Amino acid sequence: MTDPKPERSSAALRVRALETRLLDIPLVRPHRFSVTTMHTQGVLLIRLVTEDGTVGWGEGVVPGGPWWGGESVEGMAALVERHLAPLVIGQDVLRPEALARRLESMAAGAPFARAGVEMAVWDAAGRALGVPVHQLLGGILRNRLPVTWALGSEAPDVAVEEARRLLAEGRHRSFKLKMGALAVEEDVARVSAIADALDGAAPLSVDLNGAWDEYTARRWLPALAEAGIRMAEQPIPAAHVSGLARLREQVPIALMADESLRTPADALRLAAAHAVDVVAIKIGKSGGLSAVRRIADVAEAAGLGCYGGTAIETSLGTAASAHLFCATAAVSSGTELFGPLLLEDDIVTAPVTYQKGELLLPSGPGFGMTIDEEKVAKYERR
């Protein structure tokens, strides 16, 4: 295939340099998953500069370590500096789609690292043209996104107190409970107690991060449905697509795929198997905005709802998700873009804004975020 001649290719917009910095940002409270607890979030901050001095920013984050997908911020730093930066240097930032595919073909796996680099390319493209990234993606279909709050694997009284406070303050309208850190019966009792105490005040879902096997899910998901839980995210491991399909027939609760959906081919497989009702889409796990668009197209064609997921990004990565999700019709099932609210501090001068349980789409060129150098220096790992 010959390279198409781009409409506007100038030497000025070729990438001159790409640098990374490793940050650690404390959380407002520990965030407990089935297998690990986060106290700080590592962020690989990526700065891209073009020949004419246009700067684009991206971030690589994973949800608290390599347990989710094998990548870590430390591993990403090495991969980006040693292998991905040379693939991007000399390339035109106005061709993010071509750059995404170049990264995809030259770095197998490593989606979170590729996503961070691709994010910097989109940001630079928007800044170079003086337009927000959502315009490069076809323009907005919405300008705000509902944001669910994750309650972590807390004890019932702690979780209920937190949920009641957030509801009273009008900050969130729905909650997701992390499960899988406790013995099954104890965990189901804990979630049922929370649902009981909240008594329908807000829609509740659970995320098991693949902690159960199919039998356990068949046995216990009905109890969660009975307690009023509306949706179960990834109850069984990522590879068990046929198991998800059987559960979907057998249990009276909506199912969402997260770990089972990383690539467009995964989306097609889940759709063909009628395995789930909703899929969680995330820039990080799928290697960038470009791949998420392809996934969303498959999901939309298959009639699957898309839920905008998070790997607990700062305002930078959250803004990138907001631009993408506001410009993607299939994102009809809400989001969990609460990263900046779980972090004690941010790395931009004006963090993203939340209003009555919704994230507002930031304005301005690129992702509309300005990096705060003082904050970056404060949280940089030494």
Catalytic residue positions, numbered: 178, 336
> HEC states along 128-171?
HHCCEHHHHCCCCCCCEEEECEECCCCCHHHHHHHHHHHHHCCC
Specify the residue, 209 or 315, whose C-beta has the smaller distance to Mg ion: 209
Our finding on whether 207 is near Mg ion (CB under 5 A) is yes
The stretch near Mg ion (CB under 5 A) out of 2-10, 94-102, 179-187, 201-209 is 201-209
The size of the chain, in residues, is 382
Residues 6+ apart with CB under 8 A from 236: 208, 210, 212, 213, 214, 217, 243, 244, 247
Place of tokens 């500096």: 81
Can you tell me the distance from the alpha carbon of 173 to that of 61, in angstroms, rounded to the nearest whole number?
26
- Nearest-angstrom CA–CA distance, 378 and 375: 5
If one asks whether residue 313 binds Mg ion (CB under 5 A), the answer comes out as: no
| Local structure of 3: helix, strand or coil | coil
Q: Among residues 72 and 209, whose Cβ is nearest to Mg ion?
A: 209
Residue with tokens 């965990």: 187
Closest distance to Mg ion from the beta carbon of 151 (Å): 13
Q: Within a 13 Å sphere around the CA of 69, how many CA atoms are in the beta-carbon half?
A: 26
Closer to Mg ion by Cβ: residue 103 or 280: 280
Q: Does 104 bind Mg ion (CB under 5 A)?
A: no
Query: To the nearest whole angstrom, how small is the minimum distance from the Cβ of residue 205 to Mg ion?
Result: 10
Q: Which stretch binds Mg ion (CB under 5 A): 80-88, 200-208, 218-226, 318-326?
A: 200-208
Instruction: Read off the tokens for 258.
Output: 């997260």
Nearest approach, Cβ of residue 1 and Mg ion (Å): 37
Interface positions, 145-184, toward Mg ion (CB under 5 A): none
Task: Give min distance, CB of 258 to Mg ion, in A.
Answer: 4
What's the min distance (Å) between Cβ of 111 and Mg ion?
Answer: 15
**Residue 336 binding Mg ion, by CB under 5 A:** no
Q: Tell me the window of 155-163, 250-258, 265-273, 283-291 that interacts with Mg ion (CB under 5 A).
A: 250-258
C-alpha–C-alpha distance, residues 322 and 145, integer Å: 8
Closest to Mg ion by CB, 63 or 288: 63
Stretch that binds Mg ion, among 49-57, 152-160, 207-215, 356-364 (CB under 5 A): 207-215
Please report whether residue 258 would count as binding Mg ion according to CB under 5 A: yes
Give the number of residues in contact with Mg ion, rule: CB under 5 A: 2
Interacting span for Mg ion (CB under 5 A) from 162-170, 187-195, 221-229, 257-265: 257-265
Cβ proximity to Mg ion: between 123 and 207 the closer is 207
Q: Torsion angle, CA of 155/158/161/167, rounded to 10 degrees?
A: -70
* Cβ nearer to Mg ion, comparing 258 with 313: 258
Q: Which long-range contacts (CB under 8 A, 24 or more apart) does 181-189 make?
A: 181/32, 181/33, 181/34, 181/35, 181/153, 182/153, 184/212, 184/216, 184/220, 187/153, 188/220, 188/223, 188/224, 188/227
Contact map string, positions 348 to 367, toward Mg ion, x by CB under 5 A: --------------------
Shortest distance (Å) from residue 234 CB to Mg ion: 6
The answer to whether 301 touches 110, Cβ cutoff 8 Å, is no
83 DSSP 8-state letter = I
The residue among 207 and 266 lying less far from Mg ion, judged by its C-beta, is 207
Beta strands in the chain (DSSP E): 15-32, 37-50, 55-60, 144-146, 149-150, 175-178, 204-207, 231-233, 254-257, 278-281, 305-308, 354-355, 358-360
Stretch that binds Mg ion, among 21-29, 211-219, 242-250, 256-264 (CB under 5 A): 256-264
- Residue 92 or residue 258: which is nearer to Mg ion going by CB? 258
Rg of the chain in Å (alpha carbons)? 20
**Shortest Å distance, C-beta 284 to Mg ion:** 12
For residue 237, what are the contacts with CB-CB under 8 A and spacing of at least 6? 210, 213, 259
Q: Which residue is nearest to Mg ion (CB)?
A: 258
Residues that bind Mg ion (CB under 5 A): 207, 258
